[in-house]
Amino acid sequence: MFRFFENLVDPYTAYRQTDTPPQRLAPFLWDYARPFRKVFVAAIVLAIIVAAVEVWLIHAMGQVVDILSSGTPEQVWDDYGLTLIVLALFILILRPVMQGLDVAILNNAIMPNFGALIRWRAHAQVLRQSVGWFENDFAGRIANRIMQTPPAAGEAVFQIFDAIAFAAAYTVGALILLGQADPRLAVPLVIWLVFYAALVRWTMKRVGPASKAASDARSAVTGRVVDAYTNIHAVKLFAHHDRELAYAKEAIDRSRETFAAEMRIFTKMDIALTALNGFLIVGVVGWAILLWMQGTASVGVVAAATALTLRLNAMTGWIMWAVSSFFRSLGVVAEGMETIAQPITLTDAKDAKPLDLRAGEIAIQSLTHHYGRGSGGLDRVDLTIRPGEKVGLVGRSGAGKSTLVKLLLRFYDAEGGRILIDGQDIAQVTQESLRRQIGMVSQDASLMHRSVRDNILYGRPEASEAEMIEAASRAEAHGFILDLADPEGRAGYDAQVGERGVKLSGGQRQRVALARAILKDAPILVLDEATSALDSEVEAAIQDTLYNVMEGKTVIAIAHRLSTIAHMDRIVVLDQGRIVEQGSHRELLAQNGLYARFWARQSGGFIGTEAAE
């Protein structure tokens, strides 16, 4: 039975992705709720039916009181026995069935699937953002918003159907019931409803913003805490335990203050609600008693009015809390929207086609990119790399080497100029097809918190076990991989490498990353300090492998250790975002320019990258 309700909606159903999600709360939630609309209608109908049954049950109990006072037990049984039996069967059988359908739709069909759908689609949307977008935020804060938005949206939906729809139907039913008994009994309820609606409105106007502020503050705490954990080596190395505590305390205290402000609203609401409910009880029950004393209402009417009023009294706190929870949840969703609903700014062109790579020629034309600052990065760079040519990039830190690589991979859109691969503007081809044709090993060889096997196969998931091991062997990684073991007992290629690969040494991470690039076997290869973390012995052992891997590929290699690029076909020297020299190693030494000074200054093959001329 549970499986039937759980499968009413597929949270992973196909949908149309958009680069510009709705920016307002209601359209945002409505867009996510499309697959649930029929189920939502069923939930509303069932909530109304359940509420109507509850009101009718109180009415029926009032009639039972009148029946019991209408004669002797024998007379009552003879006249109303069948009615009482039918009522009992209804309460024992039909009422639980209707209640069961209501909660099954809500708890089994909506709640698990709605949260899963939002989390799935939100994650898919965020993954489509550019690298630059991620560089401008805390990973912890992004993850926190992805994790807390779905349960908040689910809680909002839950409150709509479990409390708000039920309460609205119950209140209407109560008005009808009291009006049928005596129209005057509905007057105190109507007056109470007016003031109750005013209290709800007052509360909601304040709860939404207060909840969003509290949610923002919680996300800031998560961001700071995760930042400390991610960089725990630096925290320990510089002995900044107390500094990190103080940094976190600032955010925690802000979170405490915003949460306390939110709770003040609920305290005021509870006090006002207690006073209002006192008026409701005295007004309805007192009037019913007065009508009974005047002989215009039966004992059953007084009993029903009393039961109904006490039920409303008990419900109002729950309803108010449910409505407050609903708006508080909407505040959390609104905060999550600041991440999830951000437009995708780096997109494929409308008519983008897959990159058709035939030879691997890279033509860079007037390429300019300053990261929106007006300076730094690259400034009008022109460079053509022939198919199969190996080019080394050299320059001081900040000269623009990494910027050129990021633009080639289209992690950013260039502010000026363009890059062509085999005559195709990379801004006019699909991003995925572009990056499939480029293999890269960077100096920051961060790995996934998965097994060594998963990390190497990331380069080409469909590769065989033998191909994976061959790539690891060529990267001089197979030997140390076989000796790996993690605390859970997994060994070799099944061993987990830890977050960002922290369980491996820098050289081991670099070799796993190199194995991944070897397995990918892309026709264009980018090496960004690919051997920077290797000791001289290991580097010497894989130099031949690197040159073999480069064979037949178009290669761009960034290096501060000039010995690693001295044998390249051409070396390009960048300075302050421009090409100042290019040629072979011998030609550049003969020019006695910037490259020659780098070579003369280096110790062990390193450039004095920070030295100013």
| Residue carrying structure tokens 């069932």 | 46
Specify which residues 557 forms β-bridges with: 392, 527
**Per the structure block, which two tokens stand in for 510?**
């670099």
pLDDT on residue 252 = 93
pLDDT on residue 138: 76
Q: Give the Cα separation of 210 and 317 in Å (integer).
A: 20
Which residue did the predictor score with more confidence, 313 or 100? 100
CA-to-CA separations, 427 to 376, 384, 577, in angstroms, rounded:
22, 17, 21
CA atoms of 475 and 510, how far apart (whole Å): 9
Cβ contact 507:533 at 8 Å: yes
Residue 138's contacts (CB-CB under 8 Å, 6 or more residues apart) are 222, 223, 224, 226, 227
Report whether pLDDT(613) > 50.
Answer: no
Domains of the chain in start order, with CATH, are 2-340 (1.20.1560.10), 350-437+522-613 (3.40.50.300), 448-515 (no CATH)
CA distance 321 to 325: 6
Q: pLDDT higher for 468 or 202?
A: 468
pLDDT digit string, tens, across residues 217-268 = 888 888 888 888 878 878 887 788 888 999 999 999 999 999 999 888 888 8
Least confident of 102-106, 249-253, 497-501: 497-501
No. of H helices and E strands in the chain?
22, 10
Decide which of 544 and 232 is more confident: 232
Count CA atoms within 13 Å of residue 91 on its CB side: 13
Confidence of residue 472 (pLDDT cuts 50, 70, 90): very high
**Phi, psi of 607, deg, nearest 5:** -80, 145
C-alpha torsion angle, residues 208, 212, 214, 217 (rounded to 10): -170
Shortest CA distance to 53 belongs to which of 105, 103, 99? Answer: 99
**Would you say how long the chain is, in residues?**
613
Q: List pLDDT tens digits, range 336-359.
A: 888 888 899 888 998 999 999 999
166-170 average pLDDT score = 75
Q: Is residue 607 very low, low, confident or very high in pLDDT (cuts 50, 70, 90)?
A: low
pLDDT higher than threshold 60 for residue 609 = no
Residue 318 has pLDDT above 60, yes or no: yes
| Terminal CA-CA length for the chain | 78
The amino acid sitting at 400 is G
Task: State yes or no: pLDDT of 412 exceeds 80.
Answer: yes
What is the average per-residue pLDDT within 99-114? 90
